[in-house]
Structure 1
Protein backbone atom coordinates (compact mmCIF):
# COMPACT_ATOMS: atom_id res chain seq x y z
CA UNK A 1 0.00 0.00 0.00
CA UNK A 2 1.31 3.40 -0.93
CA UNK A 3 1.36 6.16 1.61
CA UNK A 4 -1.41 8.44 0.42
CA UNK A 5 -5.15 8.49 1.09
CA UNK A 6 -8.25 10.70 1.25
CA UNK A 7 -10.33 11.49 4.31
CA UNK A 8 -12.65 14.27 3.22
CA UNK A 9 -16.10 13.52 4.65
CA UNK A 10 -17.26 14.75 8.04
CA UNK A 11 -16.62 12.55 11.05
CA UNK A 12 -20.36 11.95 11.54
CA UNK A 13 -20.53 10.38 8.06
CA UNK A 14 -17.82 7.96 9.15
CA UNK A 15 -19.62 7.26 12.45
CA UNK A 16 -22.77 6.45 10.49
CA UNK A 17 -20.82 4.05 8.25
CA UNK A 18 -19.39 2.36 11.32
CA UNK A 19 -22.92 1.81 12.59
CA UNK A 20 -22.39 3.17 16.11
CA UNK A 21 -25.12 5.80 16.45
CA UNK A 22 -24.55 6.49 20.13
CA UNK A 23 -22.56 9.37 21.59
CA UNK A 24 -19.04 9.90 20.28
CA UNK A 25 -16.33 12.00 21.87
CA UNK A 26 -15.49 14.04 18.81
CA UNK A 27 -12.06 15.67 18.99
CA UNK A 28 -11.76 16.30 15.24
CA UNK A 29 -14.62 18.75 14.75
CA UNK A 30 -17.92 18.69 12.91
CA UNK A 31 -16.84 20.16 9.58
CA UNK A 32 -15.83 18.01 6.58
CA UNK A 33 -12.25 16.85 7.07
CA UNK A 34 -11.34 17.93 3.53
CA UNK A 35 -8.15 15.87 3.21
CA UNK A 36 -8.01 14.75 -0.40
CA UNK A 37 -4.28 13.97 -0.39
CA UNK A 38 -3.24 12.97 3.12
CA UNK A 39 0.38 11.87 3.55
CA UNK A 40 2.36 10.08 6.29
CA UNK A 41 3.24 12.07 9.43
CA UNK A 42 -0.02 14.03 9.10
CA UNK A 43 -2.76 13.72 11.69
CA UNK A 44 -5.79 11.76 10.55
CA UNK A 45 -9.11 11.05 12.22
CA UNK A 46 -8.99 7.72 14.04
CA UNK A 47 -11.68 5.77 15.90
CA UNK A 48 -10.95 3.90 19.11
CA UNK A 49 -12.85 2.87 22.22
CA UNK A 50 -11.92 3.76 25.79
CA UNK A 51 -14.09 3.35 28.88
CA UNK A 52 -16.91 1.98 26.72
CA UNK A 53 -16.97 5.20 24.71
CA UNK A 54 -16.22 5.74 21.02
CA UNK A 55 -13.58 8.42 20.43
CA UNK A 56 -12.66 10.22 17.23
CA UNK A 57 -9.19 11.68 17.70
CA UNK A 58 -6.55 13.24 15.45
CA UNK A 59 -3.57 10.86 15.50
CA UNK A 60 -0.33 10.96 13.54
CA UNK A 61 -0.07 8.46 10.68
CA UNK A 62 3.09 6.51 11.46
CA UNK A 63 4.54 4.92 14.59
CA UNK A 64 7.66 3.22 15.85
CA UNK A 65 8.69 2.07 19.33
CA UNK A 66 11.09 4.30 21.23
CA UNK A 67 13.97 1.87 20.73
CA UNK A 68 13.71 1.79 16.91
CA UNK A 69 15.76 4.90 16.23
CA UNK A 70 17.47 3.46 13.15
CA UNK A 71 14.47 3.76 10.84
CA UNK A 72 11.62 6.01 9.85
CA UNK A 73 8.29 5.37 11.51
CA UNK A 74 6.33 2.79 9.46
CA UNK A 75 2.85 3.76 8.32
CA UNK A 76 1.69 0.18 7.62
CA UNK A 77 2.03 -3.19 9.33
CA UNK A 78 1.94 -6.51 7.50
CA UNK A 79 -0.92 -8.66 8.74
CA UNK A 80 1.24 -11.78 8.53
CA UNK A 81 3.60 -10.49 11.23
CA UNK A 82 1.86 -7.76 13.19
CA UNK A 83 0.39 -9.94 15.95
CA UNK A 84 3.63 -11.73 16.84
CA UNK A 85 6.61 -9.64 15.76
CA UNK A 86 8.50 -7.55 18.35
CA UNK A 87 8.18 -4.23 16.51
CA UNK A 88 4.43 -3.79 17.03
CA UNK A 89 4.03 -5.96 20.13
CA UNK A 90 3.31 -3.00 22.38
CA UNK A 91 0.50 -1.58 20.25
CA UNK A 92 -1.08 -4.77 18.90
CA UNK A 93 -3.68 -4.71 21.72
CA UNK A 94 -4.55 -1.07 20.93
CA UNK A 95 -6.96 -1.51 18.04
CA UNK A 96 -8.42 1.36 16.03
CA UNK A 97 -10.23 2.05 12.77
CA UNK A 98 -8.96 4.60 10.27
CA UNK A 99 -11.98 5.61 8.15
CA UNK A 100 -11.05 6.76 4.65
CA UNK A 101 -12.80 7.66 1.42
CA UNK A 102 -10.13 6.15 -0.83
CA UNK A 103 -6.43 5.49 -1.14
CA UNK A 104 -3.92 5.92 -3.96
CA UNK A 105 -1.37 3.66 -5.63
CA UNK A 106 1.23 4.36 -8.32
CA UNK A 107 1.86 2.05 -11.29
CA UNK A 108 4.78 2.02 -13.71
CA UNK A 109 3.11 2.00 -17.11
CA UNK A 110 6.21 2.86 -19.10
CA UNK A 111 5.77 6.62 -19.16
CA UNK A 112 8.11 9.27 -17.75
CA UNK A 113 6.19 9.19 -14.45
CA UNK A 114 4.29 6.50 -12.62
CA UNK A 115 0.52 6.64 -13.09
CA UNK A 116 -1.52 7.20 -9.91
CA UNK A 117 -4.72 5.22 -9.37
CA UNK A 118 -7.50 5.91 -6.89
CA UNK A 119 -9.08 2.90 -5.13
CA UNK A 120 -12.51 3.20 -3.49
CA UNK A 121 -15.58 1.16 -2.63
CA UNK A 122 -17.76 0.45 -5.65
CA UNK A 123 -20.75 1.80 -3.74
CA UNK A 124 -18.76 4.91 -2.63
CA UNK A 125 -19.24 4.08 1.06
CA UNK A 126 -16.47 4.87 3.57
CA UNK A 127 -13.63 2.39 3.90
CA UNK A 128 -12.93 1.14 7.43
CA UNK A 129 -9.25 0.24 7.71
CA UNK A 130 -8.07 -2.01 10.54
CA UNK A 131 -5.38 -0.13 12.45
CA UNK A 132 -3.38 -0.23 15.68
CA UNK A 133 -1.56 2.50 17.51
CA UNK A 134 -0.36 4.35 20.55
CA UNK A 135 -3.56 6.26 21.17
CA UNK A 136 -4.63 9.30 23.21
CA UNK A 137 -4.94 8.57 26.91
CA UNK A 138 -2.53 5.62 26.83
CA UNK A 139 1.07 5.11 28.01
CA UNK A 140 2.86 8.46 27.80
CA UNK A 141 6.28 6.79 27.57
CA UNK A 142 5.63 6.32 23.84
CA UNK A 143 4.61 9.02 21.38
CA UNK A 144 1.20 8.80 19.78
CA UNK A 145 0.78 7.41 16.28
CA UNK A 146 -0.86 4.61 14.35
CA UNK A 147 -0.32 2.22 11.46
CA UNK A 148 -2.75 0.67 8.99
CA UNK A 149 -2.67 -3.13 8.72
CA UNK A 150 -2.11 -4.42 5.18
CA UNK A 151 -2.54 -7.76 3.40
CA UNK A 152 -1.74 -9.22 0.00
CA UNK A 153 -3.85 -7.90 -2.84
CA UNK A 154 -6.06 -10.28 -4.81
CA UNK A 155 -7.55 -10.51 -8.28
CA UNK A 156 -7.20 -7.51 -10.55
CA UNK A 157 -6.06 -5.29 -7.71
CA UNK A 158 -2.67 -7.03 -7.89
CA UNK A 159 -2.08 -5.08 -11.11
CA UNK A 160 -2.28 -1.85 -9.11
CA UNK A 161 -0.26 -2.88 -6.05
CA UNK A 162 0.70 -6.08 -4.26
CA UNK A 163 -0.49 -4.80 -0.86
CA UNK A 164 -3.71 -3.18 0.31
CA UNK A 165 -5.34 -2.19 3.59
CA UNK A 166 -7.26 -4.75 5.60
CA UNK A 167 -10.78 -3.30 5.23
CA UNK A 168 -13.48 -4.53 7.59
CA UNK A 169 -17.24 -4.55 7.09
CA UNK A 170 -19.04 -2.42 9.71
CA UNK A 171 -20.02 -5.33 11.97
CA UNK A 172 -16.46 -6.62 12.00
CA UNK A 173 -15.06 -3.11 12.47
CA UNK A 174 -17.19 -2.74 15.60
CA UNK A 175 -15.95 -6.10 16.86
CA UNK A 176 -12.36 -5.07 16.06
CA UNK A 177 -12.77 -1.90 18.13
CA UNK A 178 -14.31 -3.67 21.11
CA UNK A 179 -11.62 -4.05 23.81
CA UNK A 180 -13.37 -7.26 24.92
CA UNK A 181 -12.58 -8.96 21.60
CA UNK A 182 -9.78 -11.49 22.25
CA UNK A 183 -6.48 -10.90 20.49
CA UNK A 184 -6.78 -14.27 18.76
CA UNK A 185 -10.15 -13.29 17.30
CA UNK A 186 -8.76 -9.94 16.15
CA UNK A 187 -5.89 -11.71 14.39
CA UNK A 188 -8.32 -14.06 12.65
CA UNK A 189 -10.40 -11.15 11.41
CA UNK A 190 -7.36 -9.36 10.05
CA UNK A 191 -6.01 -12.48 8.36
CA UNK A 192 -9.21 -13.99 7.01
CA UNK A 193 -12.11 -11.56 6.98
CA UNK A 194 -11.00 -8.42 5.18
CA UNK A 195 -13.28 -7.26 2.37
CA UNK A 196 -12.70 -8.95 -0.99
CA UNK A 197 -11.29 -7.28 -4.09
CA UNK A 198 -14.75 -7.29 -5.68
CA UNK A 199 -15.88 -4.60 -3.22
CA UNK A 200 -13.56 -2.04 -4.81
CA UNK A 201 -13.06 -0.14 -8.04
CA UNK A 202 -10.07 1.84 -9.27
CA UNK A 203 -9.25 4.35 -11.98
CA UNK A 204 -6.51 6.70 -13.11
CA UNK A 205 -6.25 10.15 -11.58
CA UNK A 206 -4.07 13.18 -12.22
CA UNK A 207 -0.34 12.94 -11.58
CA UNK A 208 -0.79 16.11 -9.52
CA UNK A 209 -1.66 13.87 -6.58
CA UNK A 210 2.03 12.96 -6.40
CA UNK A 211 2.80 16.40 -4.97
CA UNK A 212 1.73 16.61 -1.32
CA UNK A 213 1.29 20.36 -1.75
CA UNK A 214 -1.72 19.64 -3.97
CA UNK A 215 -4.81 18.95 -1.92
CA UNK A 216 -7.95 19.89 -3.88
CA UNK A 217 -11.02 17.88 -4.75
CA UNK A 218 -9.89 17.60 -8.37
CA UNK A 219 -7.28 15.04 -7.27
CA UNK A 220 -9.97 12.36 -6.86
CA UNK A 221 -11.56 12.86 -10.29
CA UNK A 222 -10.95 10.27 -13.06
CA UNK A 223 -8.73 11.26 -15.99
Structure 2
Protein backbone atom coordinates (compact mmCIF):
# COMPACT_ATOMS: atom_id res chain seq x y z
CA UNK A 1 0.00 0.00 0.00
CA UNK A 2 1.75 3.10 -1.26
CA UNK A 3 0.14 5.59 1.05
CA UNK A 4 -2.61 7.56 -0.64
CA UNK A 5 -6.34 7.07 -0.10
CA UNK A 6 -9.75 8.68 -0.60
CA UNK A 7 -12.45 9.63 1.89
CA UNK A 8 -15.05 11.58 -0.02
CA UNK A 9 -18.31 10.37 1.54
CA UNK A 10 -19.68 11.80 4.76
CA UNK A 11 -19.01 10.16 8.10
CA UNK A 12 -22.66 9.11 8.35
CA UNK A 13 -22.26 7.05 5.17
CA UNK A 14 -19.29 5.28 6.69
CA UNK A 15 -21.07 4.68 10.00
CA UNK A 16 -24.17 3.36 8.24
CA UNK A 17 -22.04 0.63 6.67
CA UNK A 18 -21.47 -0.84 10.13
CA UNK A 19 -25.23 -1.04 10.88
CA UNK A 20 -24.64 -0.31 14.56
CA UNK A 21 -27.70 1.00 16.44
CA UNK A 22 -25.60 3.01 18.90
CA UNK A 23 -25.44 6.78 19.01
CA UNK A 24 -22.05 7.85 17.68
CA UNK A 25 -20.01 10.73 19.00
CA UNK A 26 -19.17 12.58 15.81
CA UNK A 27 -16.02 14.70 16.02
CA UNK A 28 -15.62 14.82 12.24
CA UNK A 29 -18.65 16.79 11.08
CA UNK A 30 -21.77 16.15 9.04
CA UNK A 31 -20.64 17.29 5.60
CA UNK A 32 -19.05 15.04 2.96
CA UNK A 33 -15.31 14.79 3.56
CA UNK A 34 -14.63 15.37 -0.17
CA UNK A 35 -11.01 14.21 0.06
CA UNK A 36 -9.76 12.50 -3.09
CA UNK A 37 -6.03 12.51 -2.40
CA UNK A 38 -5.30 11.88 1.28
CA UNK A 39 -1.59 11.75 2.12
CA UNK A 40 0.27 10.37 5.17
CA UNK A 41 0.74 12.65 8.20
CA UNK A 42 -2.61 14.34 7.52
CA UNK A 43 -5.72 13.86 9.64
CA UNK A 44 -7.98 11.01 8.57
CA UNK A 45 -11.43 9.97 9.82
CA UNK A 46 -11.33 6.80 11.93
CA UNK A 47 -14.09 4.89 13.74
CA UNK A 48 -13.49 3.34 17.14
CA UNK A 49 -14.91 2.58 20.58
CA UNK A 50 -14.04 4.01 23.97
CA UNK A 51 -15.64 3.76 27.39
CA UNK A 52 -18.43 6.12 26.31
CA UNK A 53 -19.31 4.17 23.16
CA UNK A 54 -18.61 4.47 19.43
CA UNK A 55 -17.03 7.62 18.09
CA UNK A 56 -15.65 9.15 14.89
CA UNK A 57 -12.45 11.20 15.12
CA UNK A 58 -9.85 12.84 12.92
CA UNK A 59 -6.46 11.28 13.68
CA UNK A 60 -3.03 11.73 12.09
CA UNK A 61 -2.09 8.96 9.66
CA UNK A 62 1.22 7.59 10.92
CA UNK A 63 2.56 6.56 14.34
CA UNK A 64 5.77 5.53 16.03
CA UNK A 65 6.59 4.73 19.66
CA UNK A 66 8.26 7.44 21.72
CA UNK A 67 11.60 5.64 21.59
CA UNK A 68 11.76 5.31 17.79
CA UNK A 69 13.06 8.79 17.03
CA UNK A 70 15.51 7.56 14.40
CA UNK A 71 12.88 6.91 11.71
CA UNK A 72 9.80 8.39 10.15
CA UNK A 73 6.46 7.31 11.57
CA UNK A 74 5.16 4.28 9.61
CA UNK A 75 1.70 4.53 8.09
CA UNK A 76 1.17 0.77 7.74
CA UNK A 77 1.85 -2.32 9.85
CA UNK A 78 2.48 -5.77 8.39
CA UNK A 79 -0.11 -8.26 9.62
CA UNK A 80 2.55 -10.95 9.97
CA UNK A 81 4.37 -9.01 12.71
CA UNK A 82 1.98 -6.45 14.17
CA UNK A 83 0.68 -8.53 17.08
CA UNK A 84 4.09 -9.62 18.38
CA UNK A 85 6.77 -7.15 17.35
CA UNK A 86 7.95 -4.53 19.86
CA UNK A 87 7.37 -1.56 17.57
CA UNK A 88 3.54 -1.67 17.70
CA UNK A 89 3.16 -3.42 21.06
CA UNK A 90 1.79 -0.34 22.84
CA UNK A 91 -1.01 0.25 20.33
CA UNK A 92 -1.92 -3.31 19.31
CA UNK A 93 -4.80 -3.37 21.86
CA UNK A 94 -6.20 -0.05 20.58
CA UNK A 95 -8.18 -1.01 17.49
CA UNK A 96 -10.11 1.16 15.06
CA UNK A 97 -11.49 1.11 11.54
CA UNK A 98 -10.33 3.48 8.82
CA UNK A 99 -13.22 3.68 6.34
CA UNK A 100 -12.04 4.58 2.85
CA UNK A 101 -13.72 4.94 -0.50
CA UNK A 102 -10.57 3.57 -2.13
CA UNK A 103 -6.81 3.83 -2.33
CA UNK A 104 -4.08 4.37 -4.92
CA UNK A 105 -1.09 2.31 -5.97
CA UNK A 106 1.67 3.10 -8.47
CA UNK A 107 2.95 0.52 -10.97
CA UNK A 108 6.35 0.75 -12.63
CA UNK A 109 5.71 0.36 -16.34
CA UNK A 110 9.31 0.93 -17.34
CA UNK A 111 8.89 4.56 -18.35
CA UNK A 112 9.94 7.75 -16.63
CA UNK A 113 6.69 7.94 -14.65
CA UNK A 114 4.88 5.25 -12.72
CA UNK A 115 1.25 4.53 -13.60
CA UNK A 116 -1.22 5.18 -10.77
CA UNK A 117 -4.12 2.79 -10.20
CA UNK A 118 -7.24 3.31 -8.11
CA UNK A 119 -8.59 0.37 -6.07
CA UNK A 120 -12.07 0.16 -4.56
CA UNK A 121 -14.72 -2.37 -3.60
CA UNK A 122 -16.68 -3.79 -6.52
CA UNK A 123 -19.97 -3.41 -4.66
CA UNK A 124 -19.50 0.34 -4.15
CA UNK A 125 -19.43 0.13 -0.35
CA UNK A 126 -16.68 1.73 1.73
CA UNK A 127 -13.63 -0.42 2.46
CA UNK A 128 -13.31 -0.90 6.23
CA UNK A 129 -9.58 -1.09 6.93
CA UNK A 130 -8.31 -2.73 10.11
CA UNK A 131 -6.37 -0.12 12.08
CA UNK A 132 -4.53 0.30 15.37
CA UNK A 133 -3.38 3.53 16.96
CA UNK A 134 -2.88 5.85 19.87
CA UNK A 135 -6.00 7.83 20.68
CA UNK A 136 -5.30 9.78 23.85
CA UNK A 137 -5.97 13.31 22.69
CA UNK A 138 -2.28 14.30 22.66
CA UNK A 139 0.27 15.37 20.05
CA UNK A 140 1.55 11.79 19.98
CA UNK A 141 -1.72 10.35 18.66
CA UNK A 142 -1.67 8.58 15.33
CA UNK A 143 -2.68 5.36 13.59
CA UNK A 144 -1.46 2.76 11.13
CA UNK A 145 -3.40 0.59 8.71
CA UNK A 146 -2.71 -3.15 8.86
CA UNK A 147 -1.59 -4.63 5.55
CA UNK A 148 -1.28 -8.15 4.18
CA UNK A 149 0.18 -9.83 1.11
CA UNK A 150 -1.83 -9.03 -2.00
CA UNK A 151 -3.82 -11.82 -3.63
CA UNK A 152 -5.08 -12.62 -7.10
CA UNK A 153 -4.81 -9.84 -9.67
CA UNK A 154 -4.06 -7.30 -6.95
CA UNK A 155 -0.50 -8.63 -6.95
CA UNK A 156 -0.05 -7.02 -10.36
CA UNK A 157 -0.82 -3.62 -8.84
CA UNK A 158 1.08 -3.94 -5.55
CA UNK A 159 2.43 -6.71 -3.34
CA UNK A 160 0.66 -5.37 -0.23
CA UNK A 161 -2.94 -4.38 0.43
CA UNK A 162 -4.89 -3.12 3.45
CA UNK A 163 -6.71 -5.73 5.50
CA UNK A 164 -10.35 -4.88 4.72
CA UNK A 165 -12.99 -6.39 7.00
CA UNK A 166 -16.64 -7.12 6.33
CA UNK A 167 -19.05 -4.89 8.30
CA UNK A 168 -19.78 -7.65 10.84
CA UNK A 169 -16.10 -8.30 11.43
CA UNK A 170 -15.34 -4.58 11.57
CA UNK A 171 -17.84 -4.20 14.41
CA UNK A 172 -16.21 -7.14 16.18
CA UNK A 173 -12.74 -5.68 15.58
CA UNK A 174 -13.50 -2.45 17.45
CA UNK A 175 -15.53 -4.07 20.23
CA UNK A 176 -14.04 -3.86 23.70
CA UNK A 177 -12.59 -6.93 25.33
CA UNK A 178 -11.72 -9.03 22.27
CA UNK A 179 -8.79 -11.34 23.12
CA UNK A 180 -5.53 -10.48 21.38
CA UNK A 181 -5.26 -13.95 19.84
CA UNK A 182 -8.69 -13.65 18.25
CA UNK A 183 -7.90 -10.21 16.86
CA UNK A 184 -4.69 -11.55 15.34
CA UNK A 185 -6.44 -14.49 13.68
CA UNK A 186 -9.10 -12.17 12.31
CA UNK A 187 -6.67 -9.95 10.42
CA UNK A 188 -4.49 -12.89 9.39
CA UNK A 189 -7.27 -14.98 7.91
CA UNK A 190 -10.55 -13.10 7.48
CA UNK A 191 -9.77 -10.06 5.35
CA UNK A 192 -11.83 -9.54 2.21
CA UNK A 193 -10.43 -11.45 -0.82
CA UNK A 194 -9.05 -9.89 -4.00
CA UNK A 195 -12.32 -10.70 -5.77
CA UNK A 196 -14.08 -8.09 -3.63
CA UNK A 197 -12.13 -5.26 -5.34
CA UNK A 198 -11.73 -3.66 -8.72
CA UNK A 199 -8.83 -1.53 -9.96
CA UNK A 200 -8.11 0.63 -12.96
CA UNK A 201 -5.62 3.18 -14.27
CA UNK A 202 -6.12 6.84 -13.37
CA UNK A 203 -4.37 10.04 -14.41
CA UNK A 204 -0.97 11.05 -13.09
CA UNK A 205 -2.36 14.21 -11.46
CA UNK A 206 -2.91 12.21 -8.27
CA UNK A 207 0.85 12.19 -7.79
CA UNK A 208 0.68 15.81 -6.62
CA UNK A 209 -0.91 15.84 -3.14
CA UNK A 210 -2.20 19.37 -3.73
CA UNK A 211 -4.53 18.06 -6.42
CA UNK A 212 -8.01 17.22 -5.19
CA UNK A 213 -11.37 16.51 -6.79
CA UNK A 214 -13.45 13.64 -8.16
CA UNK A 215 -11.64 13.76 -11.51
CA UNK A 216 -8.69 12.04 -9.83
CA UNK A 217 -10.57 8.73 -9.55
CA UNK A 218 -11.89 8.71 -13.11
CA UNK A 219 -10.44 6.02 -15.40
CA UNK A 220 -7.52 7.26 -17.49
CA UNK A 221 -8.32 7.91 -21.13
Alpha-carbon offset, residue 136 of structure 1: 3.7
Query: TM-score, structure 1 length as denominator?
Result: 0.97
Residues 164-175 of structure 1: pairs in structure 2 closer than 5 A: 164-175=161-172
Alpha-carbon offset, residue 216 of structure 1: 1.1
Query: TM-score, structure 2 length as denominator?
Result: 0.97
Distance in structure 1 (CA, Å) of the matches to 2:38 and 2:52: 29
Aligned residue number for residue 55 of structure 1: 55
Alpha-carbon offset, residue 111 of structure 1: 2.2
Aligned residue number for residue 110 of structure 1: 110
Residues 17-166 of structure 1: pairs in structure 2 closer than 5 A: 17-137=17-137, 143-166=140-163
Number of aligned pairs? 220
Distance in structure 2 (CA, Å) of the matches to 1:198 and 1:85: 30
SS at match of 1:49: strand
Aligned residue number for residue 179 of structure 1: 176
SS at match of 2:143: strand
SS at match of 2:200: strand
4+ runs of 1 displaced by more than 2 Å? none
After superposition, the C-alpha distances for 1:8-48 in whole angstroms (9 at most, x for unaligned) are 10000000111213210000000000110000000000011
After superposition, the C-alpha distances for 1:81-132 in whole angstroms (9 at most, x for unaligned) are 0000000000000000000000000001122200000000001110000000
Distance in structure 1 (CA, Å) of the matches to 2:186 and 2:150: 16
**Bigger shift: residues 144-153 or 20-29:** 20-29
Distance in structure 2 (CA, Å) of the matches to 1:21 and 1:15: 10
Distance in structure 2 (CA, Å) of the matches to 1:102 and 1:184: 29
Query: Which stretches in structure 1 are left out of the alignment for 5+ residues?
Result: none
Maintained 8 Å contact 1:57/1:136:
no
